[in-house]
């Protein structure tokens, strides 16, 4: 745990002996929010941040206003996937590399043509 996380944890623990009913000042809330957003950007989950700081999970979730994709936000139909050849590579088939780009920023990079075919077959709904 880094020194900033430890300092925040110490402040939070000093607020009250009981975990429930803590009151966070606007300044402390902003410090927690800033730290949480930075850790989220580095790939740490809200649960991981909650464990580092000792802030209640629901409280932290509200502070960070984290929005995750819900089932209602997912597409209701299949979307087209386009496979494009990277023309900057060698013309030999075995040395060519491809990037597969899908919805929601999904990217699989540096695959051979055979690997792309295997991946697409494995994701196919037909047998």
pLDDT tens for residues 70-101?
Answer: 555 555 666 666 655 555 555 555 567 888 77
Residues 77 and 60 in one domain: no
How many domains, in total, are found in the chain? Answer: 2
Among 29, 47, 64, give the residue marking a domain's end. Answer: 64
Residues 12 and 60 in one domain: yes
CA atoms within 13 A on the CB side of 57: 5
Q: Using only C-alpha atoms, what is the Rg of the chain? A: 23
pLDDT of residue 108: 81
Residues 57 and 10 in one domain: yes
Give one word for 116, left, alpha or beta, with left for phi > 0 and alpha for psi -120 to 50: alpha
Query: pTM score, two decimals?
Result: 0.50
Domain ranges, residue 54 = 3-64
12-64 residue pLDDT tens: 888 866 656 678 889 999 999 999 989 888 888 888 888 889 888 888 888 88
Length of the chain: 127
């Amino acid at each position: 745990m880094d020194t900033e996380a430890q300092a925040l944890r110490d402040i939070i623990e000093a607020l009250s002996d009981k975990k429930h009913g803590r009151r966070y000042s606007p300044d402390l809330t902003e410090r927690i929010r800033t730290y949480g957003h930075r850790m989220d950007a580095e790939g740490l989950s809200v649960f991981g941040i909650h464990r580092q700081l000792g802030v209640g999970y629901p409280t932290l979730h509200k502070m960070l206003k984290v929005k995750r994709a819900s089932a209602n936000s997912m597409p209701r139909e299949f979307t087209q996937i386009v496979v494009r050849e990277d023309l900057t590579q060698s013309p030999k088939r075995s040395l060519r590399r491809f990037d597969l780009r899908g919805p929601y920023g999904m990217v699989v990079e540096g695959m051979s043509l055979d690997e792309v075919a295997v991946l697409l077959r494995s994701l196919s709904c037909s047998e």
